[in-house]
Amino acid sequence: AQKITQTQPGMFVQEKEAVTLDCTYDTSDPSYGLFWYKQPSSGEMIFLIYQGSYDQQNATEGRYSLNFQKARKSANLVISASQLGDSAMYFCAMREGFRWDDKIIFGKGTRLHILP
């Protein structure tokens, strides 16, 4: 079974609209972390936001927020007021455990296109 599922291979959104990118995960470990990364066409992966399994509040970083629904095992990324520069590939990822050697597993990604 896939550990990280991103069901939207591609999305088209009008500039200035809010965007929600879906991510569901599967783990039996009570200690885990969830991440979102952005990968523009240049190839570099850019860390956006993190949510720990014990965090009580949803993470926010500027225009990015993570809608964490633990019971549903869902960690959707919300981008408010989208911009043309948000066009990129977005990866959801999970780390089971908090040790340095607990690896991060990436989902297959969602390609986001922002339309002018």
Partner 1 sequence: DAMVIQNPRYQVTQFGKPVTLSCSQTLNHNVMYWYQQKSSQAPKLLFHYYDKDFNNEADTPDNFQSRRPNTSFCFLDIRSPGLGDAAMYLCATSREEQRGSGEQFFGPGTRLTVL
Binding residues for partner 1, per CB under 8 A? Answer: 31, 33, 35, 42-47, 50, 52, 91, 95, 98-101, 103-104, 106-109
Q: Which helix (H) or strand (E) holds 110?
A: strand 110-115
16 or 103, CB closer to partner 1? 103
14 or 40, CB closer to partner 1? 40
Tally Cβ neighbours within 10 Å of residue 100: 6
For residue 104, what is the DSSP state?
E
CB 15 within 8 A of CB 115: yes
100 or 116, CB closer to partner 1? 100
Least spacing, CB of residue 17 vs partner 1, in Å: 25
